[in-house]
Amino acid sequence: MKRVIALRYYQSKNDMLLNIAVHYGLRYTEYENQMLFFIRKEIADDRTAYFFGDLLCCIFGTTYSHQKYSYPEESPDYEVGIYDILFAFIDCIRNKTDEKHYKEQLRKVFRQMNVDMNENLPAIHLLKDNTYTLTPTESYCSSYDVKQRTANWKLSGNTQKEQSVRGKNRRATYRNFKWENLYESCSLYRDFVEGEIETTESIYLLARNLCGVEKGKQKFLEIMNSEENSDKHYRFINWKEILMAIIKDNVPVAKCESCEYCDLCSHADNMLSTAKPKKCEVRVLKKEKYVPIETAY
């Protein structure tokens, strides 16, 4: 199910909280002295939801609100991705810790949270029902109690439906890639090259996807350090470390449905398959347009 994480909002820290939200692209809805974060992906269990809530508490220096909220029927103004929270937490810890030892601090924090690790990041599993979890569990009866245990069967077979950025040998998924094709077919990438992007969450999405291309990491850093992006606030995030984490931990490529340009351009499943479709992939060149039934009649 989709989750809402509610944190305390301190009026005295108004500017500080807003600056953090803008810098990391973790936009929230302010409601009755609370910060409401609407999580974009569906989360399988409370433990995983609280994990991302704990990361947000650390980033914003606040605590949980006592009230709980259900996800609204209509789409909220802002939604937050789970990997956006994770990458923001990495940079936050790095800024609070000695640069040479921040990875050790990261591992220490995640060990205290008792989560399984892939390299330096927690292992986030995509289950068969398209929900995300730190530990796949199932319910079982013990006497008169219903308890939870690890469900390895949920991870068997084709559970990772999203394409990963790298294979087992660390090679990029897309090779012999033509950047001019991506420039022509992807509005998000084109705006990144021209320095027109203002929101950090869009840059996170680009970072995840470009790591799936051969020499994509170098291309991302080249554009980030270009003159067109010289005045952007998100340049001060340590993107080199985040890109390394994406590659080492095999973070999935983000789909176009998570992009703010989703309804404005023609695309396939993700920006890479749009620019370079594989043999088994279909690229939608033109979206279907619908008219009222009276007009059609």
The mean pLDDT value for 158-166 works out to 61
Residue 51 confidence (pLDDT): 93
Least confident residue range of 155-159, 211-215, 275-279: 155-159
Residue owning tokens 């302010």: 30
Residue 175 confidence (pLDDT): 82
Are 57 and 63 in contact by the 8 Å Cβ rule? The answer is yes
Least confident residue range of 76-85, 190-199, 207-216, 278-287: 278-287
Are 152 and 146 in contact by the 8 Å Cβ rule? The answer is no
Q: Show Cβ contacts of residue 113 under 8 Å, excluding neighbours closer than 6 positions.
A: 51, 54, 122
C-alpha to C-alpha distance for 27 and 76, rounded to whole angstroms: 11
The mean pLDDT value for 262-288 works out to 75
pLDDT at 53 > cutoff 60: yes
Residue 149 confidence (pLDDT): 65
Alpha-helix residue ranges (DSSP H) falling in the chain: 14-24, 46-60, 82-96, 102-112, 179-185, 187-193, 200-210, 216-224, 239-248, 271-275, 293-296
Residue 157 confidence (pLDDT): 46
Question: Model-level pTM greater than 0.85?
Answer: no
Residue 158 confidence (pLDDT): 47
Vertex 26 angle, CA 20 and 29, to 5°: 100
Vertex 119 angle, CA 215 and 54, to 5°: 110
Helix (H) or strand (E) holding 220: helix 216-224
Tokens of 292: 């009222």
Confidence grade of residue 148 (pLDDT, cut at 50, 70, 90): low
Residue 104 confidence (pLDDT): 83
Confidence grade of residue 285 (pLDDT, cut at 50, 70, 90): low
For a pLDDT cut of 70, what percent of the chain falls above it?
Answer: 87
pLDDT at 16 > cutoff 60: yes
C-alpha to C-alpha distance for 117 and 24, rounded to whole angstroms: 23
Residue 151 confidence (pLDDT): 67
Q: Which residue has the higher pLDDT, 220 or 282?
A: 220
* Amino acid present at 167: G
Handedness of CA 65, 68, 69, 70 (dihedral sign): positive
pLDDT at 168 > cutoff 70: no
- Average per-residue pLDDT in the chain? 84
Residue owning tokens 């999203």: 162
